[in-house]
Amino acid sequence: MADIIQLLPDHVANQIAAGEVVQRPASVVKELVENAIDADATSIKLIIKDAGKTQIQVIDDGKGMSDTDARMSFERHATSKIKSAEDLFQLQTKGFRGEALASIAAIAHVELKTKPDYQDLGTAIVIEGSQVKSQEVVVTPKGTSISVKNLFFNIPARRNFLKSNTVELRHIIDEFHRVALAHPTIEFIMYHNGGELFNLPKTNYRQRIVNIFGSKTNEKLVPVEETTEIVTISGFVAKPEYSRKTKTEQFFFVNNRFIKSAYLNHAVNAAFDGLIKDTYHPSYFLNLQVNPESIDINIHPTKTEIKFEDEHTLYAIIRSAVKHSLGQFNVAPVLDFESDQNLNTPYNYKDKAASAPGIQVDRNYNPFKESSFKSQGFQKSPQPHWESLYVETATDSNDDNFSNIEFESKAENSVLFDDQHKEKKQSTFQLQQKYIVSTLKSGLLIIDQYRAHQRILYESLLKSMTVKTAVTQQLLFQLKLNFSKSDMEILKELQTELEQAGFVFASFESEYLEITGVPFNVSDSEITIIFEQLISDIENDVPEANFSATDLLAKSMAKSLAVKRGQYLTIAEQDHMVNSLFACKEPSVSPSNKATFITIGTDKIDRKFI
């Protein structure tokens, strides 16, 4: 029998490795920027075209590489950061596996220019699909410039799985934020399609947060500081009133490396318990410095998950540190059961002695004496005995004459509507303010009011946006909303669709937008919710590549405007929702493909009574 196990060719092995390392353009950005940081760069430029699908370029002023190192950097498992297995537990750098550049070069066109400070000339290498096309000496400044073009050019299936440009750009911006926040002493500049998105100068941590998320962020931040033998915590949390519907402003950094940890996130949420709404999330930017030997960061290809040696203690420290900061800066309510605030002495009277009040009493005063009336300026007029007060009102009963009394006609209740407009017999009722229950010939119909209203609004909005017949209502006062630069970039991508939906914008600035008109039946209080939900949907990979931005907007607005579970509906509103639902093209499912109603046949009900 012939042998069937064989070694894979290098280019196939590199493509398989690329599947772990390079999942989307944002993965390339992460690897290249982290390499620039490890090269001791003080300034890093990130240039993106078409959300990274066409080009990703990173330029740094770091140490650079010799011609030999430049060539070796594209070999598998080639790295300058690990020499023995023990080094894995003493890591202070970013990329260390030595697979990133090899994996990227296997699925893209790569151009590298690099020069160390001690050489006059640099090296330029061109690689396409793991094949070195050229290597030559060039004149280039100190540092490294690496350009990645046509990502997944030789794997069309992987390229087809990429999301829309809006979604992919969002992932790139997220990675950019994570690296920029971890290194405030490095200058970062980001361009997209020729326009500058971020220009972050060297600064402190607080100012770096403000530069990324907008000037309004400064007033939201509460500092957190804690030093223990296990961990040193520094950073900021946002005040509870600035909590968000999304998790975009939640950052944990361990030894200057961004990580994801649901366990530690729960610790922060526990500190905010009772201060924010259930569906909202706190914002935080926390740096943890721990002993490298107490963590393992080699458990996930993206190196964003870390295994801690003592998670339980770390949880308790983070929770108490955040809670202490909220209380220290009078953000969280503090109850003192030992003292009564009403008994505290006012500051101005703290050192004054108490003085007894003086009271003057006229011991000869008698209010029933005539002289007392005169002394007070009252002249007592002579009056007969008190019984005589009722003499004049007494009348002879025989004089009563009821013959002239007129009675009002009997009151009649007018009918607002004719008999044909009288309220019909109730055919629906609301169950726990969640479901609308109605009867069918075959049994019961139970409708989820939230999902049903989503379907009704979705089809209505989609029709008005597609046909461009949306009705706009002008606002009496112009509304100004503040967003971060990354959120504003998303809204700019959807500006055309938003205007087709009925929104009218006075201006689109870098950190805020001004609205003068909104779609019909949308109140002022709902506008912020609509935009927050829209941004949240983009972050959750909606829309997919095969959905349009118009479809996304219709779904997102329907989700924001639909009546929520727990909202009371009148009988007329219930009937209207039932009729409107079954007038839809797809009444059985919500815009997110979840059932809007169920039916229970009488045969099933009968079986319950057997």
Least confident stretch, 183-192, 273-282, 446-455, 463-472: 463-472
578 falls within a domain: yes
129 falls within a domain: yes
Are residues 177 and 322 located together in one domain of the fold? no
Higher model confidence: residue 530 or residue 200?
200
> Does residue 84 carry a pLDDT above 60?
no
166 falls within a domain: yes
Are residues 51 and 119 located together in one domain of the fold? yes
Are residues 257 and 187 located together in one domain of the fold? no
Half-sphere exposure of 321 (CA within 13 A, CB side): 26
> Does residue 82 carry a pLDDT above 60?
no
Are residues 272 and 190 located together in one domain of the fold? no
Domain range spanning residue 31?
A: 10-200
What whole-number distance in Å separates Cα of residue 580 and Cα of residue 567?
Answer: 18
- Tokens 């190192």 -> residue: 69
Are residues 137 and 230 located together in one domain of the fold? no
- Residue 546: pLDDT band with limits 50, 70, 90: very low
Average pLDDT rounded to a whole number, residues 509-517: 83
CATH code for the domain in which residue 264 is found: 3.30.230.10
Q: How far is CA 428 from CA 434, 456, 573, 596, in A?
A: 13, 18, 10, 16
Are residues 447 and 574 located together in one domain of the fold? yes
238 falls within a domain: yes
How many domains is the chain built from? Answer: 3
Assess contact for 265 and 314: CB atoms under 8 A: no
- For the CA atoms of 457, 460, 465, 468, the dihedral, rounded to the nearest 10 degrees, stands at -150
Are residues 550 and 484 located together in one domain of the fold? yes
Q: Which two tokens stand for residue 39?
A: 């090269």
Assess contact for 240 and 272: CB atoms under 8 A: yes
Out of 260, 293, 328, pick the residue that ends a domain.
328
Helix/strand number for the chain, H first, E second = 17, 22
> Does residue 59 carry a pLDDT above 70?
yes
CA 389 to chain centre: 79
Q: Which two tokens stand for residue 516?
A: 């003068």
Q: Is the entire prediction scored with pTM above 0.75?
A: no
Residue 47's nearest CA partner among 38, 59, 63 is 59
| pLDDT, the chain, mean | 81
Are residues 584 and 546 located together in one domain of the fold? yes
Secondary structure of 413-469 in the HEC alphabet?
CCCCCCHHHCCCCCCEEEECCCEEEEECCCEEEEEEHHHHHHHHHHHHHHHHHHHCC
> Does residue 365 carry a pLDDT above 60?
yes
Higher model confidence: residue 191 or residue 170?
191
607 falls within a domain: no
Are residues 138 and 240 located together in one domain of the fold? no
Out of 179, 200, 221, pick the residue that ends a domain.
200
Identify the top-confidence range among 82-86, 284-288, 393-397. 284-288
Exposure string for 576-593, b = 16+ CB within 10 A, e = fewer: ebbebbeebeebeebbee
Are residues 186 and 322 located together in one domain of the fold? no
335 falls within a domain: no
Are residues 184 and 242 located together in one domain of the fold? no
What whole-number distance in Å separates Cα of residue 543 and Cα of residue 163?
Answer: 8
Structure confidence at residue 159 (pLDDT): 85
Query: Which of the 8 DSSP states describes residue 521?
Result: T
Assess contact for 283 and 221: CB atoms under 8 A: no
What is the tens place of the pLDDT at every residue in 331-343?
A: 655 554 554 555 5
Query: DSSP string spanning 159-193?
Result: HHT---HHHHHHHHHHHHHHHHHH-TTSEEEEEET
469 falls within a domain: yes
H/E stretch holding 136 reads strand 131-138
365 falls within a domain: no
* 275 Cβ neighbours under 8 A, 6+ residues apart: 240, 326, 331, 332
Are residues 191 and 246 located together in one domain of the fold? no
Q: What are phi and psi of 431, to 5 degrees?
A: -105, 115
The answer to whether the peptide bond before residue 301 is cis (omega within 30 degrees of 0) is: no
What is the tens place of the pLDDT at every residue in 250-281?
A: 999 998 889 888 889 999 999 998 888 877 88
CATH code for the domain in which residue 127 is found: 3.30.565.10
Assess contact for 309 and 294: CB atoms under 8 A: yes
Out of 200, 235, 265, pick the residue that ends a domain.
200
Least confident stretch, 142-151, 224-233, 405-414, 519-528: 405-414
Higher model confidence: residue 141 or residue 475?
141
Give the dihedral sign, CA 8/11/12/18. positive
